[in-house]
Every structure is written in C-alpha cells, then in structure tokens.
Chains A and B, each alone.
Chain A
C-alpha cells in the first residue's frame, strides 16, 4: 500500500525529515512513535500528499504520489489534528458535503449508516458546534469511511477520547485492517497504538530510529526506547 524510500523534507536550512523509508502492505497497521518535533506529522502529511517531499520516492496504492498526488488521493483517508468539521453544519450535512465533494455516493441511508457506525446517529441533525472533541473525531472517521479509503492516516487519533472512545477506535481500526485496509497512526499513546499495530516505527530528529514488527519488540524495550527519546537522550541502539 505504501512504499517510500529516501524521503527528505526541508524548509530552507531546516531539515525536518531525512532519509525516511518505509513499506506497508494491505491489512497492516504501523504505529508511528516519536517525541514532539520528531517529524511524525510531516511524514503523515507527505504520505497524505498534502505536502511534497524535497527528495525521495513515494508510492501509494501503486501510484507515484509525488508525481500524481490526485490519483493517490483516491485511496487515502486522513484524520489529522483538525477534524475537517464545519461547525455550522449538522453531522449529516458535514458528511453530505465531504462525501459529495469526494465524488462518492452521498445518499441519506449511506450517510446514516456511517453515523451509526461511529455511534453518532442520535445526533445526526445537531450542529457540530455542540459536539465534544471526541464526537468531532468520530464524525471525522465517518467522513473518512464514506470515502472508502484503502489507506488510513491518523494523527494522534486517541487524543481527546475517553476510555470508551479509545476502545471503540481500537475496535474500529482492527475491523478496518481485517477488511484489507492499511493504517498509519502517529501517536504518543503507546498502549493504545500497540493494541492495533503490527509494526512500530520510531522517528527521532527526522530520522527513522526503529522500524520493527511488534512481535520482535517487547513492551518494556519499546517503553525504554520511547522514554529515552522523549527525554532527549537520542535513540537507544
């Protein structure tokens, strides 16, 4: 689903990402970890074709995403820091807008079904202005699902969710994976991230410090590594 090699992103003299490579197949989930400023969001935005890498190669869904971002976007669904929610529209209207804009079927039963899936069917006709952060995140996921993506890119998806919301999201992602979808999630929530991930990648100072299967990495090793990174001690070897 994703094949990236030698990705580099710099803004003038500031290098944000350096020589990042990763590969992810259908039905796999990659948890992208790293301290603040490590380049996780930049990497996600590059994978989402929202920004272009300064150098490197990126294939998304078999499409050269650096040359043909439009074609790659057909398979990508992204939930970033923002929820892409219009506050003055209702939940249903928000979904109608994004689904039609994406060129998908925006029939009422389909939108209602998506709202049921994220457990927001009870507030379908309420304006998003009245929603909590967690509800907006669920609405964002409903929007993404309606686009039928094969690759889901999530930036801090567990932030702002209560315990029940985290559990619901984990189940949702496992179901998405089981359907053949690939997921990349950038998170600080190690526990929640590892519950759904097959692989863990750790970014430190814009470089990929670790990219391993969850099976090869013990919880303690990962926690130690992560603590070292977030305390600024550099990646553990």
Chain B
C-alpha cells in the first residue's frame, strides 16, 4: 500500500470507528429519514398517481436533506481537542485526508440511503425491488456528487461561526446539475425504463462527479490551510 493510500485508509478507519462508537450521525439521520417519510405521507395522501409523480423528487429531497445534516458535521469532530490543527500539521499530501473523509461520508450516506429506500417502499406502498439495480447506479452517482462537494464545503465552513447557515448556502447551488440529473434519471428508472433511456442524465451525472471530485482533491489543501 502506498503512503497516500495508507493515509486515506487511516482517516476512513478513524471516522468509521468513531461513528460506530458514538453513533452520533447515524442515529440522528435514520430518525430524520423516518420523520421525513412520515410527514410526507400525510402531505401527499393516498393518491397513487400523485405519489408516483412526486416520488423521484421526494426521494432526492430526502437524500439531500440527510446529506446536509450528515456532511455538515463531518469535520466537527476535528474541532475537539484541536485535532484540526493536528491534521493541518501532519506532513504529506492533504488530499488523502479529503479522500478518507469523502469515503467515510459515502459509507454513512449509503447506510442512510439504504434505510430510506427500504422505508420508501414501506411507507408509500411501492415496490422498488424490480428497479433496484438501476436505481442503485443512479443513487451511487448522485451521492458521489453530493458527498464530493459536501465534504469540501464542510471543511471550508467547519471553522466558521455561521457554518450551519453557510454550508447549505454554498452546497445547494453547486448541486443543481446533480439534482437535475438524478431526479430525471430516477424518474426514468422508476417508470421501468431501461438504464440506457437515462443515459444522457447519467453522463451528465458522471461528468459532474469527476469535476467535483477533482476540485475537491485539488483545492482541499488550500481550503484547510486558509
């Protein structure tokens, strides 16, 4: 394993281990998912047609809101005991820290999204089983775009006093291409169309992912040093 990979792995290991022990994020996010679905079930009622039309947007609204809550907290643990300063002082390429944090965020979001998708089927009485494969591809691509920018902006706002306000203000506009593509691709997949029908959206999504990831890797050091 290269030094870069070891540094990435140790950040991922540390974040997952502390989350497993404290369960601060995961418990709150799963509870949030439950409440979100519960409230929207009341708001939309039992009209199946209405539900079908709203489902893709509703699903991504849930993912984005859960992402805002979870990603925004990803650097808060570093503030305790000045660990942030330790990260800053550690020699080597800082983008490894970004990558480790991103992977940890992706793992947490994957768990929350899996819970949400399961609950979507249960609360809204829709079968997502047949579309699970293509849906997973769309969700994975969309989540990568969300987490790539979210991790970078979380680092940027971690030391700012109004971070809870600033984080969504920065992240949401940057997520417009991802949101457009994911909602459209999810709609296509839920209608039972083959994945190739959503190919233009998936290409846009993959392109946005690559751009966001590269921006994150290249600018993370500058962001935390300043």
Q: Please give the distance in Å from A17's CB to the nearest CB on chain B.
A: 19
CA distance A68 to B77 in the complex (A): 28
| A interface size (C-beta, 8 A) | 28
A101 touches B85 (CB 8 A): no
A89 touches B18 (CB 8 A): yes
Once A100-B6, A102-B91 are accepted as A-B contacts, the answer to whether A84 and B86 lie under 8 Å apart by CB is yes
Per-position contact with B for A68-102: 1 when CB-CB < 8 Å, else 0? 00100110101011111111110001001110111
Query: Using Cβ atoms and an 8 Å threshold, which residues of chain A touch B77?
Result: 86
CA distance A82 to B85 in the complex (A): 9
Please report which residues of chain A, range 94-148, place their CB below 8 angstroms from some CB of chain B when the two chains form the complex.
96-98, 100-103, 127, 136
Query: Using Cβ atoms and an 8 Å threshold, which residues of chain A touch B86?
Result: 84, 98
A84 touches B83 (CB 8 A): yes
Q: Please give the distance in Å from B86's CB to the nearest CB on chain A.
A: 4
Q: Is B44 an interface residue (CB 8 A)?
A: no
B3 touches A103 (CB 8 A): yes
Looking at A84, A89, A136, the one whose CB has the most chain B CB atoms below 10 A away is A84
A82 touches B81 (CB 8 A): yes
B85 touches A103 (CB 8 A): no
Query: Using Cβ atoms and an 8 Å threshold, which residues of chain A touch B91?
Result: 70, 73-74, 102-103
Per-position contact with A for B1-26: 1 when CB-CB < 8 Å, else 0? 00100110111011001100110000
Q: Is B80 an interface residue (CB 8 A)?
A: yes
Query: Using Cβ atoms and an 8 Å threshold, which residues of chain B touch A70?
Result: 91-92
CA distance A166 to B69 in the complex (A): 43
A98 touches B81 (CB 8 A): no
Q: Is B137 an interface residue (CB 8 A)?
A: no
Given contacts A100-B9, A103-B92, could you give 20 more A-B pairs where the C-beta distance is less than 8 Å?
A: A70-B92, A80-B82, A82-B81, A83-B81, A84-B85, A84-B86, A87-B81, A88-B21, A89-B17, A89-B18, A93-B17, A97-B10, A97-B14, A101-B10, A101-B11, A101-B97, A103-B6, A103-B91, A127-B21, A136-B81
Interface residues of B (CB under 8 A from A): 3, 6-7, 9-11, 13-14, 17-18, 21-22, 77, 80-83, 85-92, 97
13 inter-chain pairs at a CB distance below 8 angstroms, sorted by A residue, are A50-B85, A76-B89, A82-B83, A86-B77, A86-B83, A88-B17, A89-B14, A93-B14, A97-B10, A97-B13, A97-B14, A101-B92, A101-B97
Interface residues of A (CB under 8 A from B): 48-50, 70, 73-74, 76, 78, 80-89, 93, 96-98, 100-103, 127, 136
